[in-house]
Chain A
């Protein structure tokens, strides 16, 4: 398997422009996560989906951010309008759904990240 695939790897955009980040999870994985990494705040969960359904979006910073998962093999994270403070590395990750009986979760696989700079 190719792993979690993210695009673009790098994007530089002007303030006010719309940014769309894309993610293809590992085939067969039921859970998909969007994380953001900044120098100040480290890694933070933005939103995650189980079986294409958004479960927890409490980490999405504000209404300018939206995420969709129209099918099991594709997700987008959109920022509109973008601002300089959105500059960060955005990681997509996927994992198999945690095993209900063990309730210990499963390991997680990260994409290479999308490096966003808003000027």
Chain B
């Protein structure tokens, strides 16, 4: 079993819909990252969380340390949000990231 599991693997939605991507992990962590990868391959860190909730524009990320679960929400989704969203954790005591398999999101106009 992978240490970081994401769901769903693929998600297609209509423009304007509220999007939720989930991440569960089975190891102790010091931080969790949500990453965005566009076609063409570049990876951008959207959020780094160790507790609670963060918001940036239409994106919201939450984490529940006790339940070992995090969610990424996109409000008022737009076709330019189409990308692969990757959950990654920094295991306690380590600096490198362990990644989920990613969620391939397509927002149709």
A108 lies within 8 A of B50 (CB): no
Q: Nearest 9 CB-CB pairs, A to B?
A: A45-B96, A104-B50, A110-B43, A43-B99, A105-B31, A107-B48, A48-B96, A107-B45, A42-B101
B30 lies within 8 A of A105 (CB): yes
Q: Which residues of B have CB within 8 Å of A108?
A: 33, 45, 48, 97
B31 lies within 8 A of A91 (CB): no
Instruction: Say yes or no: is A56 at the interface (Cβ < 8 Å to chain B).
Output: yes
Q: Which residues of A have CB within 8 Å of B101?
A: 42
Which A residues, 29 to 62, have Cβ-Cβ distances below 8 Å to chain B? 31, 33, 35, 42-45, 48, 50, 55-56, 59
B99 lies within 8 A of A113 (CB): no
Instruction: Say yes or no: is A109 at the interface (Cβ < 8 Å to chain B).
Output: yes
- Interface range on chain B (Cβ under 8 Å from partner): 20 to 34
Question: Closest residue of chain A to B49, judged by CB?
Answer: A104
11 A-B pairs in the complex with CB atoms less than 8 angstroms apart: A31-B95, A33-B97, A56-B95, A104-B31, A104-B48, A104-B50, A105-B95, A108-B97, A110-B42, A113-B42, A115-B41
A42 lies within 8 A of B102 (CB): yes
| Closest CB in chain B relative to A40 CB, distance in Å | 10
| Closest CB in chain B relative to A53 CB, distance in Å | 12
